[in-house]
Chain A
């Protein structure tokens, strides 16, 4: 292991940042005023999955996901599993990159070719991934602080234009609808925390991964729900439903006086920070996995080739913004094996192995 001393506070903020980056697809929700309920439900629905991730990390302190796979599986299965997870995280990075670039292109830079935006965005991502997990964790703490400040500020500034009756009637949609929405956005927001296992090995000795995961999910989901609630209360359910990026539209309505007037650029700024951090984490996870396959090669050498692949994936993954929101509803099935099946297999095998070695000892 390169480093073994990242504090749990930094890793928790990294987790929160990854969760909040999923809030970019809040256009995929189809339930208007009950979206905040879906977000809270998401935390509850995915809790077992998060507990599985924490348990796997707790069984093997100091080891990341790929080391764990290598230590408990035989030659063929460990090769296949590592390859699958690496491919998955590469595709997810491409999706996230394209998602973010679509947001930028729709909101402001309409004429810039997508590829240019993707390459330019990947440059800081590459730098951050090259610097390593310690820098990334410390950086995410700062990003987390900025986000919390921004959310608090926009909520306080919007208090004179919100109408509380916008969230009524509560639970007008069927529970099945709400749960379906939770599941869809949950696979993007919480399910991708499976890749946090690739860096959890760097956690401080003596700190528990449960603490990191559970605190991170709690704070992340609460912030996400607050963001959605603020959007609904400002815009009203019908407008929030119709908008592609309701956070941006909600903050555009806020007016802070005669001189400064608008603060919507802070939202684009925040999304850039979130996007860079999440992508660099996933790039790091992908490079680590690939380096494991190539017999412990230095992962920094693999970052550049992976980024080229990621740009390629980002270009072809969907044709236009309509497909982006439709993809969210298909992605949940595609991600299920990687987010649930493979971790369960790893977990069960790990438990068996641990109890076997305990019996032998």
Chain B
């Protein structure tokens, strides 16, 4: 009986005294960081960051959740984040961070690898944060826009980007850990989504605007949203989207929704020439017919499928050739396909892979299947 009393009391004491610890962080003691925008002052080599935190005072059951912004500066990014504490009562907590916005100046001048290394090394931010490049002058402007669905811009950007390949196929989603793989991987090429500020009924909002192309980890060029769809076709990241093109004569056109798409890319090398073989299988829904086409007729549908296939093939080939002649680097990461197939060959040719890529021969074959046309048989 006595022993039971003693053990019970000691258990209660343990619960009381051991419930706090050195690393205790109360919720009222922390500021939850949702986004980070990184700029650099051109002359002085100092990073200027803008941190977006959740405003826990004005948010509540009645009001919407809103965000506050903090500016900070430092010699390195970690330095800048710590310096922000000079203005704050609470400590910053990065576990809920969703987005990182990097200005295009930093991406061009120094590369994104150093920023990524800092965020990966720090165990607090998650490896799934989205990294975007700002098309505007600074990254800060993107963070200070108004949100449409949510006041927290970082959440908006994150959701916009992650859902995009199922909806518009106009940009790409690169969480932090995949960015690391793309920089370090053999023959891989880094691409990051681009966002810009745009006017939407008298409010400034954020819009995704294609992708940024990188040589190693330095910014090399941009692709428009239209071209990005064909880029996504080549790297097999299309899960949705819209294909519209003119058919027939005059101003007739048709608009189709991509339901599903699968790309098989094979790469082979023969006497210093690279052959890339791309096979796309895409399933489509007809959504808008601005033409006299009778889509309940099988022959007309077959003809439409052939036209779609030719359209996609033409644009994929154009994009590939543009990458070869205008950008001059392997933006699709096809070197990685060669590495996975034949690592010894890759090690021999990797130093002049870009030259080999410029003279690569591409063969595209698209197979389009129209599986449905909405709820109408015919119009």
A residues engaging B (CB < 8 A)? 106-113, 116, 120, 165, 168-169, 172, 235-239, 242, 249, 252-253, 255
Contacts and interface: CB of A to CB of B under 8 A. Distances in A.
Contacts of A169: 339-343
Nearest to B184: A238
A112 B23 contact: yes
Contacts of B120: 242
B128 interface: yes
Contact of B23 (A109, A238, A252, A253): A109
Interface string B133-176: 00000000000000000000000000000000000000000010
A238 B340 contact: no
B340 A165 contact: yes
Given A112-B21, A252-B128, A255-B128, A106 B177 contact: no
Contact of B177 (A120, A165, A168, A239): A239
Contacts of A116: 22
B22 A249 contact: no
Contact of B22 (A107, A112, A168): A112
Nearest to A170: B340
B181 A168 contact: no
Contacts of B184: 238, 242
A173 to B, nearest CB: 10
14 contacts: A106-B123, A109-B21, A112-B21, A112-B23, A116-B22, A169-B339, A169-B341, A235-B177, A236-B177, A238-B185, A239-B177, A249-B127, A249-B177, A253-B175
B160 to A, nearest CB: 16
Given A109-B23, A249-B127, A236 B178 contact: yes
Tell me which of B120, B181, B339 has the highest count of chain A C-beta atoms within 10 A of its own C-beta: B181
Interface size class of B (residues with CB under 8 A): 20 to 34
Contacts of A165: 340
Interface in B1-54: 18, 21-23
Given A107-B123, A169-B343, A249-B127, A239 B181 contact: yes
B180 interface: yes
Nearest to B128: A253
Contact of A108 (B18, B23, B128): B23
Given A116-B22, A238-B184, A239-B180, 12 more contacts: A107-B123, A108-B23, A112-B21, A165-B340, A168-B341, A235-B177, A236-B177, A236-B178, A242-B180, A253-B126, A253-B175, A253-B177
Most buried by B among A120, A165, A242: A242
B22 A238 contact: no
A236 to B, nearest CB: 4
A110 B340 contact: no
Contacts of B339: 169
A237 B180 CA distance: 10
| Interface of chain A, main secondary structure | helix
B123 A111 contact: no
Interface string B319-359: 00000000000000000000111110000000000000000
A193 B92 CA distance: 45
Contacts of A172: 343
A109 B22 contact: yes
A102 to B, nearest CB: 13
B59 to A, nearest CB: 18
Contacts of A237: 181, 185
B340 A168 contact: yes
Nearest to A234: B177
Q: Which 3 A-B pairs have the closest CB atoms?
A: A168-B340, A236-B181, A111-B22
A238 B116 CA distance: 14
A253 B175 CA distance: 9
Contacts of A255: 128
A237 B339 CA distance: 13
Contacts of A253: 126-128, 175, 177
Contacts of A252: 126-128
A110 B343 contact: no
B163 to A, nearest CB: 13
Contacts of A242: 120, 180, 184
B128 A238 contact: no
A236 B179 CA distance: 11
A109 B18 CA distance: 14
B248 to A, nearest CB: 40
